[in-house]
Structure 1
Amino acid sequence: MEKKYTNTANLLTFILGSAFGILMFLVPIPHGATFTTLLDFCCTFLKKGFGASLPYIVTACVTFAGAISLYDYFCKPAWIREHDVFSKVFSSSPLYLCSKVMGAIFAIMCLFKVGPEYIISVDTGATMLGLCNTLFCIVLSFSFIMPFLTDCGIMEFLGVIMRPVVHPLFRVPGRASVDLMASWFGASNAAVILTREQYNRGFYTKREAGYIMTNFSLVSIPFCLIIATTIGIEQYFPAFYLCICLVGIILAAIIARIPPISTVPNTYRESVGKNLDEHVPEDVELLPYAVEMACRRANSFGIKGIISGGMEVTLGMLFDLIPIVLSWGILALMVATYTPIFQWLSYPMGMYLNVLGVADAFKVAPATLVGFADMFIPALLITGIESVETKFIIGVLSLVQIIYMTEVGAIIIKSEVPLNFGKLVIIFLERTIIAIPLIVAFARLVF
């Protein structure tokens, strides 16, 4: 007889543990004119607590990562190579080794404001060091709270409940709805990290993880309001955000069915295999089965797993991911800010916008592509545009493109999901080209 996991202890773990995870990640908390999450409050608290020392701590972590990775590459010490976590963090390929070393050099230059202006300026290095300061605090608060959202059963419960809707529409497990909510109410990079960890543990296939990362990792609602305010259309925010949601859903439904996402192997991580089952047996009711799956997951939840899993995620983020995000982000911003590359590449986009009747089409064309580097740059490029409709269109577009190298792009490439730089470029262009006419049509209804 198959063992049943629905008992008082597991139910309490599922309900109370999941409630804490939902409260921290997904429940919107009023904050001034908008709202945020308790996880964001934790991040802000840590930033204030570290104060002026935070950039020095981040620079020290990045420098340490570069130095130890160099030591590992040339000396191959057993204490790193024979340790699962340390080998993942410090044993790097030549590309990632160069990225880590470059990140250490950039961090030191930006911290002490020495070196060329195009590396340390507020538009490049200073911006990325500030972003990494925030990412550092997100990681510290995220890593040990994440298990309450992923390991107490709520993802299994929602996976069974939501699968009849989510799977036909997006071709992903029902549990992906949690990733989407974590992004909407929290931060896109936190949602990508959540997806990466779920893939590493066998809950998503390569295709599902890649798809979720590139389609569900929308920026948070508070940041959408910041963009609307920056470009001067905050009075249209309800329509602005509604357009983001509708276009985002349509894009997600389309991108799931076309290359390169559709060509990614639909197989699980080889070293882990499949750890997911959301199919409801024919002779079982939906809700009791969802509760049973949640309790089965809650049965293995414990403090030891929280500490060990949290430490592994923390070390990986601090010494492997942040140095690469810093180096790649600065390089991307240098290209976007100090070279005419995006001006040259954007001419076809200007023609596209012009055919659709968008005012100042060629003037705002670079803003349609520069978001690949960072999501905030398009808003800065169009602040001088007079047409409210055009600002609405570009503002929405910048927030549904998703593939921002400074935020989520580097995290995706560094993960084991088989989406390289070239595929991310293609997905970014697909999202851009498909989204523009949809946004233009919506804007015509508003203005």
Structure 2
Amino acid sequence: MATDTSHPQQRHAHIWFKMIIGSLFGFGFFMIPFQWNGELTILISLLQATISAPVKGSLPMVIVVLMALSAGGSLLGTLTGGAGMNRYFKSIFVTTWVSLAFRLAAAVLSILVYWKVGPEAIWNDYTGQIIVVELMPSLLVIFLLATTLLPLLLDFGGVEFIGVYLQPLFKTMFRLPGRASVLTATSWIGSGTNGIIAANLDYKKGLYSAREVSILCLGFGTISMPAVFIYTTSIGGLDVGTFLYFFFTLFVVGVVTTMVIARVPPLSLKSDEYYMGKKDPMLDAPEDATQTKWQKAAAIAYEKAEKAPGLPKILKNGVLTTFDLYMTVFPLIVVIGILALVATEFTPVFQYIAVPVEPLLNAIGLPEAQDAAPAFLVGFADLLLPFLAAEGIESQLTKFVICITGTVTVICMSETGAILLKSAIPVRFVDLLLVFLLKTVVAVPIALVMGRLYGLS
């Protein structure tokens, strides 16, 4: 009986097809900017806006329902030990007393904000409304799209292929493996939230050590490209004509700040251990000295694509992961975000903290130093605050420095910070604070010098 040799060849072609098509779709969704209605955007942001537009008015109510479901399910699950729940729901709703307190608080706060009852400090336009009505509805859709579509970017070999070529550069500059280059672009072009979600998934797969994933998230987490333009020009009041130079400066400052935080504490002290001690075997695969770089990249990408899940599994995992994030991460963002904004708007805490900053800004010659000082610290609470602070500044140079620093140091507790603390990525609150301050110290003088070189005043 003759042996059928066509099947292995067909399978080989199928895997190559899956690798190429899957990776192209992934890059297309997350990384390729294009003009749409006169604005620069990427496909996932356009999808998010398109999906949200028809139901925009209903999404805040969806947030309230999700927070109530998280609180009610967690209260029942924690008190009963998950009786009657399957393993998936137990992993979500059987939690610690601290997490339960956050989820109950999130439900209460979201109800107060939505119906505008209770203390006005909780629900006014500059605190609770920003979180529940503006921020959370956009995250609601972007989390679903990101967790569902990220496997196209991460699991079909494209990351590994590019990583082979960028390995020397990333290792030298950032102490990171080359495959981190694609997640870097995902964070810078897409958003820091997308980058953190992707990095957390890869960390759990054993593709990054604790130190590497910490540098990756805290070094490159930033605002999405379309949002940067809106925040700096529409909110911060930066002259639209300076935006291309602004983006070039942002790239320079981002590279330098990441090179610095990768080499000093607290991130330099992070462990080189992998998640639960499980390192992906592919990372230790012996190199074939006879292979060209192209052959090596193709072989690694092929092996990754061979293990990639099919579309039904991608969709199922995306929905399950998204629901998990809604129940566990969203309450943290709601509580931390609202309380941080209340502290910013109704207490002098940030004004007091900014007192030692003003003399330093005066010393380096930043115009309107007194008014600008709080802007360099309030970003730790929420990403919008530096840009809102820049709105009241007259100097284009000072606006430029505030917007650069506010963009590149985005480790805000209302969003990325809360997501990081809830993820498997081994960073603590003190790590976030120290890295935020370190990036600010490095970013401000560089942005000031580059702003002056451009002729801003």
Pick the TM interval, shorter chain: over 0.9
Cα pair distance change 1:235/1:436, threshold 3 Å: same
How far, CA to CA, are the matches of 2:298 and 2:316 in structure 1?
27
**Is the contact made by 1:5 and 1:295 (CA closer than 8 Å) also made in structure 2?**
no
Does 2:120 match 1:121?
Answer: no
**For 1:153, which of 154, 157, 162 is the aligned residue?**
157
Partner deviation per Cα, 1:308-328 (whole Å, 9 max, x = no partner) = 421332122111111211111
**Is the contact made by 1:119 and 1:125 (CA closer than 8 Å) also made in structure 2?**
yes
How far, CA to CA, are the matches of 1:399 and 1:432 in structure 2?
10
Equivalent runs, 1:323-362 vs 2, <5 Å: 323-362=331-370
Partner deviation per Cα, 1:274-325 (whole Å, 9 max, x = no partner) = 3552874333211111111111111122234313421332122111111211
Cα pair distance change 1:206/1:245, threshold 3 Å: same
Partner of 1:288: 295
Does 2:23 match 1:15?
Answer: no
Structure 2 residues not aligned, in runs of 5+: 1-7
Cα pair distance change 1:278/1:45, threshold 3 Å: farther
How far, CA to CA, are the matches of 1:214 and 1:95 in structure 2?
25
Partner deviation per Cα, 1:402-424 (whole Å, 9 max, x = no partner) = 21112200000111222111111
**For 2:70, which of 65, 75, 80 is the aligned residue?**
65
Task: Tell me the secondary structure at the aligned position of residue 265 of structure 2.
Answer: coil
How far, CA to CA, are the matches of 1:42 and 1:227 in structure 2?
20
Does 2:185 match 1:181?
Answer: yes
**Is the contact made by 2:206 and 2:274 (CA closer than 8 Å) also made in structure 1?**
yes
How far, CA to CA, are the matches of 2:101 and 2:273 in structure 1?
31
Partner of 1:390: 398
**Is the contact made by 1:224 and 1:241 (CA closer than 8 Å) also made in structure 2?**
no
After TM superposition, the runs of 4+ consecutive aligned structure 1 residues lying more than 4 A away are 3-6
Does 2:89 match 1:89?
Answer: no
**For 1:29, which of 27, 34, 51 is the aligned residue?**
34
**Is the contact made by 2:82 and 2:90 (CA closer than 8 Å) also made in structure 1?**
no
How far, CA to CA, are the matches of 1:399 and 1:6 in structure 2?
46
Give the aligned residue type for 1:268.
Y
Task: Tell me the secondary structure at the aligned position of residue 372 of structure 1.
Answer: coil
Partner deviation per Cα, 1:224-277 (whole Å, 9 max, x = no partner) = 212331232222111211111100000111110100001111111016433552
**Is the contact made by 1:6 and 1:292 (CA closer than 8 Å) also made in structure 2?**
no
**Is the contact made by 2:82 and 2:93 (CA closer than 8 Å) also made in structure 1?**
no
How far, CA to CA, are the matches of 1:89 and 1:271 in structure 2?
23
**Is the contact made by 1:203 and 1:275 (CA closer than 8 Å) also made in structure 2?**
no
Does 2:289 match 1:259?
Answer: no
Cα pair distance change 1:254/1:211, threshold 3 Å: same
TM-score, scaled to structure 2: 0.92
Partner deviation per Cα, 1:391-437 (whole Å, 9 max, x = no partner) = 11111111111211122000001112221111110110001111111
Partner of 1:162: 166
Give the aligned residue type for 2:156.
C
**Is the contact made by 2:236 and 2:389 (CA closer than 8 Å) also made in structure 1?**
no
Partner deviation per Cα, 1:366-392 (whole Å, 9 max, x = no partner) = 101001011211121232222221111
Partner of 1:223: 227
Cα pair distance change 1:281/1:254, threshold 3 Å: farther
**Is the contact made by 2:203 and 2:213 (CA closer than 8 Å) also made in structure 1?**
yes
How far, CA to CA, are the matches of 2:131 and 2:295 in structure 1?
48
Does 2:37 match 1:43?
Answer: no
**Is the contact made by 1:6 and 1:296 (CA closer than 8 Å) also made in structure 2?**
no
Does 2:304 match 1:300?
Answer: no
Partner deviation per Cα, 1:136-159 (whole Å, 9 max, x = no partner) = 101222222111111111111122
**Is the contact made by 2:161 and 2:301 (CA closer than 8 Å) also made in structure 1?**
yes
**Is the contact made by 1:18 and 1:148 (CA closer than 8 Å) also made in structure 2?**
yes
TM-score, scaled to structure 1: 0.94
Structure 1 residues not aligned, in runs of 5+: none
Aligned length: 443
Task: Tell me the secondary structure at the aligned position of residue 145 of structure 1.
Answer: helix
Does 2:112 match 1:106?
Answer: no
How far, CA to CA, are the matches of 1:387 and 1:144 in structure 2?
43
Give the aligned residue type for 1:203.
L
Identity %: 30
Aligned-residue Cα RMSD (Å) equals: 2.0
**Is the contact made by 1:62 and 1:107 (CA closer than 8 Å) also made in structure 2?**
yes
**For 2:209, which of 205, 209, 215 is the aligned residue?**
205
